[in-house]
Amino acid sequence: MKSTQTIGVFDSGFGGLTVLRALLPLLPDARYIYLGDTARLPYGSKSRETITRYAVSSAKFLHEQGAELLVVACNTATALALEDIQQALPIPVIGVVEPGAHAAALQSKPLFQESSFRPKRSEVEKSASLPTRVPQVRDGLIVANVGLGSPPQLSTPNQVLVLATAATVQSHAYTHALHALGLEAYEKACPLLVPLVEEGWIDHPVTDEVLKIYLIEALTAAPATQTLLLGCTHYPLLEPAIHRVLATLNHPLAIIDSAKATAHKVMAHLIAARANIPTLAEGAPLYVGLQDSNPDADKCSFYATDSIEKFERLGSAFLGQPVTGVRHIDLRE
């Protein structure tokens, strides 16, 4: 393998820049080509056939630009079109779902434990959609229906809460990936979070309130949750807010960032290929040889299928450094 690798990163919009943000310090010598298919977002409201067509055309463009490895940094495209992209390209293709699931498996504890979640009555009453009684589970069997104010009993272990967009939840991609690893999954669609992030309301009372409603609903339905998996690449920007809201609910959780997990998966893949050794343990994050460096944005080429000005403005927030020199392309058929 060459010492310098060209890595293509594809997303329907801006969220995939959090994957690129995680890749830069891990593989600072690589070249990066990023494509945001902003003219055709959101993917989540479209059919599987349309999503596949859009994703494959974007992937082929990155390969034509010199990408030697492709990261599908879009949960919807990963969930619905990953196999089609892999079949269409002669280069390795890595999605975001399996790395996130494997990182959650490493984090989850295989022990029974009592949930510490105690929703305040005032918070419960603010969400009229919440059920008044919640089934409690032991060894896979419902043992009691307990009122919301009652302490939960022992529940099934290895339960992972996945926050994602509606399209990703409907695909059940994370449920399938987590079940294959022996984990129970509860997927929660959070359709308001992406527009709040793109509005720039990262640290805003409205965002905290929306997160609180989503988390109360999810933790009431899945009180045994120990691990929270961020199943959308927009959500890493909300991680401080999520920690803050969980603290108010007295239910701290280990938070898994699928963007970071994917970056570690890419590094593990390249190290394994460079050393000419068998594939490393599937999805296992590799925390060796990390380089502490200041990423050079000049090593990144950016393409967008819609407004360059908007991409540079929002993209800078996602990448954590200025995004400049974005080039417009037209992938419309």
DSSP states of 152-186 as a string?
A: P----SSEEEEEE-HHHHHHTHHHHHHHTTT-EEE
Active site residue 232: yes
H-type alpha helices, 40-126:
48-64, 75-88, 97-107, 121-126
Q: Is residue 263 part of a domain?
A: no
Residue 271, burial from CB neighbour count under 10 angstroms (0-12, 13-18, 19+): middle
**Catalytic, out of 74, 77, 261, 319:** 74
Separation between Cα atoms, residue 6 and residue 67, nearest integer Å: 5
Q: Is residue 133 part of a domain?
A: yes
pTM over 0.85: no
In this model, does residue 275 exceed pLDDT 60? yes
In this model, does residue 11 exceed pLDDT 50? yes
Q: Please tell me whether residues 33 and 90 are part of one structural domain.
A: yes
Separation between Cα atoms, residue 280 and residue 155, nearest integer Å: 33
Q: Which pLDDT value is given to residue 42?
A: 84
Separation between Cα atoms, residue 9 and residue 119, nearest integer Å: 40
Q: Please tell me whether residues 202 and 231 are part of one structural domain.
A: yes
- Give the number of domains in the chain: 2
Per the structure, the complete domain to which residue 68 belongs is given by: 6-95+296-328
83 Cβ neighbours under 8 A, 6+ residues apart = none
**Catalytic, out of 85, 164, 230, 232:** 232
Q: Which pLDDT value is given to residue 284?
A: 39
In this model, does residue 280 exceed pLDDT 50? no
In this model, does residue 318 exceed pLDDT 60? yes
Whole-angstrom CA distances from 110 to 83, 96, 153, 155, 265 are 31, 24, 17, 12, 23
Whole-angstrom CA distances from 80 to 36, 173, 233, 250 are 18, 8, 16, 36
Residue 309 pLDDT level (bands cut at 50, 70, 90): very high
- Bridge partner residues of 135 (DSSP): 145
Q: Which pLDDT value is given to residue 104?
A: 95
Question: Which helix (H) or strand (E) covers residue 220, if one does?
Answer: helix 205-221
Q: Please tell me whether residues 187 and 240 are part of one structural domain.
A: yes
In this model, does residue 97 exceed pLDDT 90? yes
Distance of CA 12 to the CA centre of its chain: 13
Q: Please tell me whether residues 17 and 38 are part of one structural domain.
A: yes
Rg, C-alpha atoms of the chain: 20
Task: Tell me the per-residue pLDDT of 244-268, one tens digit each, with 9 for 90 and over.
Answer: 999 999 999 999 999 999 999 999 9
Q: Which of 265, 85, 235 is nearest to 161 (CA)?
A: 235
Q: Which pLDDT value is given to residue 296?
A: 52
Mean per-residue pLDDT over the chain, rounded? 82
Q: Which pLDDT value is given to residue 198?
A: 87
Which CATH number is 135's domain given? 3.40.50.1860
Choose the most confident range, by mean pLDDT, from 14-28, 97-111, 140-154: 14-28
Beta-strand relationship, 93-95 and 254-257: unpaired
In this model, does residue 292 exceed pLDDT 60? no
The mean pLDDT value for 276-301 works out to 48
Q: Which pLDDT value is given to residue 305?
A: 95
Task: Tell me the per-residue pLDDT of 137-181, one tens digit each, with 9 for 90 and over.
Answer: 333 333 333 333 333 333 445 789 999 999 899 999 999 999 999
In this model, does residue 289 exceed pLDDT 50? no
Separation between Cα atoms, residue 167 and residue 149, nearest integer Å: 32
% of residues, the chain, pLDDT over 90: 67
Residue in this structure with the two tokens 């494959």, named with its chain if needed: 56
Q: Please tell me whether residues 221 and 302 are part of one structural domain.
A: no
In this model, does residue 21 exceed pLDDT 70? yes
Q: Please tell me whether residues 113 and 67 are part of one structural domain.
A: no
**3-state DSSP call for residue 222?**
coil
- Other Cβ atoms within 10 Å of 49 Cβ, number: 11
Q: Which pLDDT value is given to residue 124?
A: 46
The residue with greater pLDDT, 6 or 130, is 6
The mean pLDDT value for 72-95 works out to 96
The residue with greater pLDDT, 21 or 43, is 21
Q: Please tell me whether residues 75 and 142 are part of one structural domain.
A: no
In this model, does residue 185 exceed pLDDT 60? yes
Q: Is residue 85 part of a domain?
A: yes
Q: Please tell me whether residues 181 and 303 are part of one structural domain.
A: no
- Tokens found for residue 46: 């479209």
Q: Which pLDDT value is given to residue 167?
A: 87
Q: Is residue 281 part of a domain?
A: no
DSSP 8-state symbol, 34: E
Q: Which pLDDT value is given to residue 187?
A: 97
